[in-house]
Amino acid sequence: MIVVVTPNPAVDVTYRVDEQRIGTTQRVRSVDRLPGGKGLNVARVLAGEGVETHSVLPLGGASGSWVADAVAALGLAATAVPVPGETRTTVTVVDDHAHPTMFGEPGPSVPPAAWLPVDEAVRALLPTAEALVVSGSLPVGTAADVVTPWITDAVAAGVLVVADCSGPALLAAADAGATLCKPNREELAEATGCADERDGALALLDRGAGTVVVSRGADGIAAHTRSEVVEVGAVPGVTGNPTGAGDAATAGLVLALTRDATDVTTALRTAAAFGAAAVLRPVAGEVDRAAVHRFLTDTEPTRSTA
């Protein structure tokens, strides 16, 4: 069972339009509403592969109740932890010509005491967990170290921890000893202040991360340890909606690391295949499963000694 914490869940709304234009009234061709946030996207992809997951979701207000009901309707196991305020909404505008535009609300203001039941929910699930995934932003004003007890408890229990966080939360995850930290290039540079990817990865390793996996978008994905860098290129020729591709890549990593992967190379190739297969789907949290298996043969790793 994979425990997935989504610190800042959302009602994910996807608008499909003929063409994105600023300053004009546009008709929406279709609307999708799904329970979202990066962690829930990861959980949905894993569930699509037959993996048992359990999501921990701090939810507030009417929108939080909607997310809880929608998660249950999808057949996903979850613990909903009530918090003050209103769970946020994200709106993604998609057309067939341009990169999607996403509007993400900051989320509710959650006081420190309201996170204690989240800590307890995570701790209660760890005895039966293979892995803990902490994925997504924190609500506005939340201290970065809110992630610390989730990760330290999991590490103490011998559970694999994958942290897909940004900003100070990424540093806190490394400080807590996350098995694997997974920022993208921009998040890594912002959190560490290092323009060079290798320098940024070493900064997280120095803080306590076991491995740093960096998503590079169209340039693929790389895993950094102290001794080497393993790189896998992006699957070529894939176009579509990249929203959620990073979350699918995280799901691919977790899937490989909790199944038969014997080294990071297999995990990276699986992550690249899942990320590319997500681009072929219209909304985040889904992958083209047939494409995953095809894409696994389209990526070749390279290694360099650091």
The set of catalytic residues is 247
Q: What is the CA radius of gyration of the chain?
A: 18
